[in-house]
Structure 1
Amino acid sequence: MSAAVVVTKSSPVLVVPSESETAAAPVIAADTVALSSFDLWMLPFPMKLLLAFDRPIHEPVETIKRALSRALAHYRPAAGRLDGRGGIACTGEGVAFVGASAGCALDEAVATLPQMDLTARCPGVLCHDADPLLLVQVTEFSCGGFAVGVTWNHVLADGAGIGQFLQAVGELTRGVSPPSVVPVRRWDDSVPGLPSSMVAAKKSMVDDNGPRYLVRHDIAVPLTLIGRIKAETGCTSFEAVAAVIWRCRTRAAMSPGETTAPLSFPCNARALVGVTAGYYGNCIVGQTVPATSGAVASSSLADLARLIRRAKEKVPDLLSGSSNGEAAAPDGGAEVQQLEWYNGLAVVSWLNLGFEAADFGGGGAARVMWHEERTLLPGCMVCPPCRGDAVNVSSLCVKPEHADAFLGELARLTTAT
């Protein structure tokens, strides 16, 4: 669209847990839920997820608002506040909710969705203890389609946890109560946590300059290209996509040679540590693949995918505190901290988290997007393909002067499929 789309927003209101749903909800035995080492490893940075739905439902703003209130009866810590002492106080103060409308049809705005005002904003760069842990905006389009924008304090939950929560809201919207997955937020102290050295190292990485603005790109990596890399290596879709982005970005933004150009990524550790089914707090650990810009730029995509896979295989060593070699510098290791901020690349997988399965009555999402405008480190979100023939990547990883070269590298790969 040539002109900016006007999004009209209501004033934020606080949605509190539904008292009528309380009888079906699990009992919270304490007023405060202690944060785990995985939670403490997270910065209180607001994460922004956007789900676009092209199939109408009845009064999406009010329908989802009611279901959100019911869901909070099952997920009461999400309606609380950080207490500043290493816990979430289950105060029931509620989550922020905004209803909105857009002056166009959804299909007219597909290319501009990332630039539209479709998510609620936290007041600061980092979330404060007194801020809601969750903010939700539902925007209706003139065609009947709608978008659900979710902003959450990363200390509350990781992507898998938010995916579980949104699926619960969807089930309650469709009349399923209680939700099919029983939510658990209290950490079982018998389950292994992160080494204290890793938690301390991550906290020291807070950048006084705050997030930077990089060029936003929404990339479609064809499934045919991904399939070729997988056939050659036996890797996953994430590993194949990460290899594509890593090489294209390195060739476009960095000088070839011995400049350090690591790739970092988080891994879901639920299966590794044995958390209780339904746990929706943080349970991810960061891993880094050290490399030089020259090595990344000259490697085949298959070789880079294999490097990423080998690093993933070493994640259990990080949890035991006995890592060495390639896996010795997790997402807060000394080597990473000493990098110039633009050298590294973080790639996060939103595949298999269930975002696209959130169904508020009209089916799953047509698009899943990272809706951020700035980032602490150059990074990408690998999003579900939904109803297309490509894996979607929301990217904030290059400066303006490197944008054309980055897109050129991607075009050379994707047009050859």
Structure 2
Amino acid sequence: MAAYSPPPSLIFTVTRKEPEFIVPAEPTPYEFKQLSDIDSQESLRFHAPLIQVYPSNNSVQEDPVRVVRKAIAKALVFYYPLAGRLREGPSQKLSVECTGEGLLFIEAEADVRHDQFTDADLLPPFPCLDQLLYEVPNQSGVLNCPILLIQVTRLKCRGFIVTTRLNHTMCDGVGIRQFLSTVGEFARGATQPSIPPVWDRHLLTTRHPPRITHVHLEFTQIPDDFVPPLSALIQRTFFFRLNELSALHRQLPPGLAQQYCSTFDVLTALLWICRTIALSSHPEDEVRVMSLVNIRSRFNPPLPIGYYGNGIVCPAAVTTAHKLTQSPLEYAVEKVRRSKAEATEAYVKSMMDLMEVRERRYVFPLRGSLVVSDLTRLRLEELDYGWGKAVYSGVAGGGTADIRVVTFYMRFKNREGEEGVVVPMALTKEAMMKFEKELVRRGVAGVVQRRKINDLKGMLSSM
């Protein structure tokens, strides 16, 4: 296992033009479209930043800013709700007013080449993120503001960076990938999206009267004392090589390993254990891990192909700190697997009914909680605007409203050609040292980024 500190963060300057609005290339309907009861929940009311880094391509001489700008306008004809503005109605229910005002777009240039980025610089939190994703004053709210902000930054080498800030109430990872893939298709000359977008948010609405038929441990309210302030945290990104993940699988009993036990299950179990040890939780403290589950295929019939709203729930696995940390790895793996299996159609409907009863005000507890989202299956790096695949595509910063509890799994291939999964983690300095020590003891991960976040509040305000 290799653990090392990368060189100092890359510093560069970005020159921006004035922000503009990109509107649909053709007239679109003016109407109000109600969001689903999953979309409207309070825990999704934040902006999620994504970043895609593209090296130069000698076979392409076009200007990426012009190409992407034109493709966005064409894509918005089909995804016209993304050009509108969110409004809030009674009981915090959200709808989008399809005004056609457009999304925010920023054209920029950076005095840096792609080959100046090290492996560490191509991972979250990105250097100079505040310049690559400029926050336009008074345009960053969840309500009554642009739903999307996209910045395209040219590099000195003729490569470019695309950064996207998404209002999470409108789309989940599958949804934003579908939109950006459509932008890429138009950039490459298509005249129609290969997957037509489907609204159909009525498929995920509450029953009347509401019927709460399941226990929803992810929303259990517990005191959030002893939760560190954001200013006390540092963020580091960990690289788990494929051979290390295979070694984790081999630690499981043959019976469990022979069942369908995903890399996500095993890695989540490991991180849950190591993080609980790092936080020095009291043995009897309740600890939980919540896995974001795509529920599109769990309905009968499945949600339509092309559905780009939030199709995710977050069931929790719960135990005590003592039981988790003193049991073998397979105990945590089984807890993770069983919690994911709970996300049935009946469970989702019960959760939406709970949201209705609580007027969508439930949020995840912070203390003793870890929320994980697997972006590896989205294959974001394959998004292509005509220059080929991205060398990195994923979250740009913490990627969430509160990096104290939420982390993401993303594909990564380093300059040595090693493939694996990268995971950003935010902890206090003392807890981070314990976390790294526990990973070293288990021999499964190398630290690939050690950049300190001096002002996490500032970063979160840009998400």
TM-score by length of 1: 0.84
| Contact 1:46/1:122, CA 8 A, preserved across alignment | no
Alpha-carbon deviations, 1:282-338, whole Å to 9, x = none?
11111111022223323333332222111111111522539xxxxx9xxx9xxx979
C-alpha change, 1:125 and 1:12, in structure 2 (3 Å) is closer
CA distance in 1, matches of 2:221, 2:85: 24
State how 1:318-329 maps to structure 2 within 5 Å: 318-321=347-350
Alpha-carbon deviations, 1:63-100, whole Å to 9, x = none?
11111111111100011001222211111111111122
The alignment covers a number of residue pairs equal to 395
Partner residue, 1:228: 247
Q: Which residue identity does 2:418 align to in structure 1?
A: D
Partner residue, 1:397: 426
| Contact 2:291/2:340, CA 8 A, preserved across alignment | no
- Gaps of at least 5 residues in structure 1 are 323-327
Q: Which residue identity does 1:314 align to in structure 2?
A: E
| Contact 2:154/2:160, CA 8 A, preserved across alignment | yes
1:4 counterpart SS class:
coil
C-alpha change, 1:402 and 1:251, in structure 2 (3 Å) is same
State how 1:66-81 maps to structure 2 within 5 Å: 66-81=70-85
Alpha-carbon deviations, 1:224-252, whole Å to 9, x = none?
12223346433112222212322222222
Q: Which residue identity does 1:8 align to in structure 2?
A: T
The correspondence for 1:112, drawn from 110, 121, 130, is 121
C-alpha change, 1:69 and 1:122, in structure 2 (3 Å) is same
C-alpha change, 1:102 and 1:342, in structure 2 (3 Å) is farther
CA distance in 2, matches of 1:147, 1:18: 23
CA distance in 1, matches of 2:14, 2:307: 35
| Contact 1:264/1:286, CA 8 A, preserved across alignment | yes
Partner residue, 2:109: 101
CA distance in 2, matches of 1:196, 1:215: 42
State how 1:14-413 maps to structure 2 within 5 Å: 14-19=21-26, 31-41=31-41, 42-56=43-57, 57=60, 58-85=62-89, 86-110=94-118, 111-113=120-122, 114-117=126-129, 118-121=132-135, 127-189=141-203, 212-213=230-231, 214-230=233-249, 232=252, 233=257, 234-255=260-281, 257-273=283-299, 274-316=302-344, 317-321=346-350, 341-373=366-398, 375-376=401-402, 377-385=404-412, 389-413=418-442
C-alpha change, 1:104 and 1:338, in structure 2 (3 Å) is closer
Partner residue, 2:4: none
| Contact 1:102/1:139, CA 8 A, preserved across alignment | yes
Q: Which residue identity does 2:173 align to in structure 1?
A: G
Higher RCO (CA-CA < 8 Å; seq separation 6+): 2
Q: Which residue identity does 1:362 align to in structure 2?
A: W
C-alpha change, 1:227 and 1:403, in structure 2 (3 Å) is same
TM-score by length of 2: 0.76
CA distance in 1, matches of 2:328, 2:136: 41
CA distance in 2, matches of 1:211, 1:281: 32
- Report the identity percentage: 28
Q: Which residue identity does 1:82 align to in structure 2?
A: L
1:391 counterpart SS class:
strand
